[in-house]
A and B are shown apart, each in its own frame.
Chain A
């Protein structure tokens, strides 16, 4: 079956702009999580959605937001982009989101803010 699909794969934006990233989970999966990966901070959890509700949130400013649709697809939005937002943004899906189940990650969207 198809894996987790993230679009676009690469993106270049200017400081101050906003950006929306998309994630399509594996069919049947209801939990979608988002992570930011930078060389300095590593992989950091942003938030998780389950059945269209945000269930967990990491320690990121309010400029980072997300949502999940009824078909489990998810989007994350970053407003007022800063240079430090340049990162690989990863989406992960799992069946129910309950432990212990594995999460399947997409290939990520590489965002560059100039």
Chain B
């Protein structure tokens, strides 16, 4: 699976958009980009995934660059409850749920 690089930590003001970047320069054509988050001491929570088109759901938006070498997760109006570690994962389109989690980005939403 392709390796991802994320900043170790970020701050965001409550009510503002949180933009979390992820670099995956070695991504191959059949690999999807997934985002999960983990709030302290809980199991990871699925946020969104995409292949090459931008995606949006009730939680967030995923913007993938045209060359697919990087992506950005956008939380449009961050709240204190969005404080968590955010993981960007790329994995191929094959069967199996063996996600490879990196260290992620610790997002702190500040009042």
| Chain A residues within 8 Å of B, Cβ to Cβ | 4, 31, 33, 35, 42-45, 48, 50, 55-56, 58, 88, 90, 92, 94, 96-100, 102-108
A50 to B105, alpha carbons, bound, how many Å? 31
Q: By the criterion CB–CB under 8 Å, are A98 and B95 in contact?
A: yes
Contacts of B97 in A (CB 8 A): 31, 33, 48, 56, 92, 94, 97, 103
Q: Which partner residue on chain B sits nearest A101 by CB separation? A: B97
Sampled A-B contacts (29; CB under 8 Å) = A4-B43, A33-B99, A35-B101, A42-B103, A43-B101, A45-B100, A50-B95, A55-B95, A56-B96, A56-B97, A90-B43, A92-B44, A92-B97, A97-B95, A97-B96, A98-B94, A98-B95, A98-B96, A99-B91, A99-B92, A99-B93, A99-B95, A100-B51, A100-B93, A102-B49, A103-B99, A104-B46, A106-B43, A107-B42
Contacts of A58 in B (CB 8 A): 98
Q: By the criterion CB–CB under 8 Å, are B102 and A99 in contact?
A: no
A14: min CB distance to chain B, Å: 24
A-B CB contacts (within 8 Å), total count: 70
A60 to B93, alpha carbons, bound, how many Å? 24
* Chain B binding surface SS class: loop
Contacts of B103 in A (CB 8 A): 42
Q: Which partner residue on chain A sits nearest B95 by CB separation? A: A98
Interface size on B, residues (CB 8 A): 24
Q: Which partner residue on chain A sits nearest B51 by CB separation? A: A100
Q: Which partner residue on chain A sits nearest B31 by CB separation? A: A99
Contacts of A97 in B (CB 8 A): 95-97
A105: min CB distance to chain B, Å: 3
Q: Which partner residue on chain A sits nearest B33 by CB separation? A: A100
Q: State which of A45, A90, A107 has its C-beta within 8 Å of the C-beta of B98.
A: A45
B5: min CB distance to chain A, Å: 15
Contact with A along B58-100 (1 / 0, CB 8 A): 0000000000000000000000000000010001111111111
Q: A31-B97, A42-B103 are in contact. List 20 more A-B contacts (CB 8 A).
A: A35-B101, A42-B102, A43-B44, A43-B87, A44-B101, A45-B100, A48-B97, A55-B96, A58-B98, A90-B43, A97-B97, A98-B94, A99-B92, A99-B93, A99-B94, A102-B34, A102-B49, A103-B99, A106-B43, A107-B42
